[in-house]
Structure formats: structure tokens, C-alpha cells
Structure 1
């Protein structure tokens, strides 16, 4: 059977789409950094929430009422972001020195998260660009960002 050039082009296109669709379903580990400051560096920028950053030379009291109120605020914000990818496998949650969470995500879920994170963030963040969704490796980042806010590492 001899294929015409148009048949070859269609076959190549369909094969490429099938490969891309399969790659989109593979879950990989990511670290998702959220926009608001972590507890240890929060300076009271959100109306109604007192600063949690300890004074120089002092330790962070994670049981203090102000700290617990800010942690509840961060949890609510994280839940809103995570709701945009309901099938994602959320792992560890980080709030004290880093604000974010780990998750096993497909490429499609990463794209959904990037769209779901509203920008600009709350007043507690002064950054001009969204925080990254990063794929960690065992030692170092091995490739540059492929899309806005995303870092990829060799598997």
C-alpha cells in the first residue's frame, strides 16, 4: 500500500497529537510557590492580619494567635489555588519559611495552576511576576524555564 503525501502528513500529525496527549497524563513532582509571604517574613501587609515576622533576635512563636490567624489565611488561599486542579495529588504543605505545597501534577494541571493564580497577588507581595511552579530534581535545576513561571528539571 502506497501512502500519498497528504496521508503521510495526516498520519504524522495524529501520531504527534497522540504522543503529546500521553505525555500530558504523566504525573511529576512539583513545588508550587504561592504569592503571599510565608509566616516567618510576613510584615502585616494584609488588612486585619497582624505581622508574624519575629523581631530581630527573637524566635517565631508558631502558637501565637497572630501566627495561627495568618496560617489559617494561607491555608484558605492554598485551598483556593488547589481547587483549580481537583485531581492533583497534593503532598506536603509549607507555610513558615516558604509559602507553597508539593504536588504530583500532569502538564495540563500545571497549565491550569498557572492560569488559576490571580495576579497581582494580595498586598502582602510586591513582586512584579508570579511565583514559579517548579519541578525539583535531586540536586540542581538542569534546564531553564520553558514557560512563564515554570522550571523544569531532568527526570
Structure 2
């Protein structure tokens, strides 16, 4: 019986656990960009930004790239700036799950790559912002089921008491 209770608890709690993947293999889109100097940048991202979870962009850039930045700016105004690290060829940036509060489709993310002499190029990624259903709906249904079952049991109890009183 004790093992059954532990197993039931694990199954109930495991449904609410989620992990955010920050690996290239987890990203469903890849976009390659060749800057004016002929060097390639590769951006890995998910095309759906779920409100409430962090959204990551992983990018590869040419080795030895220094004195430059990559600017990520949504058309709604949220901006992040990444400065190149000459010791890395892959890096990432994330936007908080609270960046958006409502669904938006075909939202533009402007990416501007700059070097020491100015802009090396820019391009646009199109993503969708999704508002997932509330996870607490499971608990709401459970609570409402118990509530209505309790009211039904009370009605049956009162009905049986009235029947007993009528019979006397």
C-alpha cells in the first residue's frame, strides 16, 4: 500500500515538471546568415515562443570574432545585445517568459550583426508567441468534481431524511 501511495504521488507530481532544453538538437529551426565579409552565422531557435517559459536562440559565429555585437530586437520593443566572446564559437541568448503577455503570430525578430566598422548585416526571423492553456485546469476539474459530488451526496442525504420524516 505504501509503494502504491508513493507511485501515485510521483505520477501526479511528474506531470507538472518541465525542462527547458538549451541544446541545438532541441531547436526545430535553423537559419544561416552570411555577413558582408563572407563569414557565416547559424542561428538555432524554436519558431514558437511559449508565454511563461524562457525562449532561447543558440548561435554559431566565426571563430576569433571580436569587437562586435549581435542585437536581437522584437518589433514590440524587447531588445537583447550579445557581445562576441573570442574564445567561443557557440553562444546563446534567452528572452524571459514574461516578455509577452498575449498571443501574437508572425512576430518579427530583427537581428543586426555589427563589427568594428559598423553593420555587417541584418535579417529577420519570424516567430509565433503562444499562450499555453493553464496547467491548473487539472486541479480545477478535480476540485469541481469533488464539489459537485459533495453537493450530490448532501442532496441524497437530505432526501433520505425527508423520506424518513414523511414515513413517520
Instruction: Give TM-score scaled by structure 1 length.
Output: 0.26
- The structure carrying a bigger helix percent of its residues is 1
Higher-RCO chain (CA-CA 8 Å, sequence separation at least 6) = 1
- The structure carrying a bigger strand percent of its residues is 2
Instruction: Give TM-score scaled by structure 2 length.
Output: 0.25
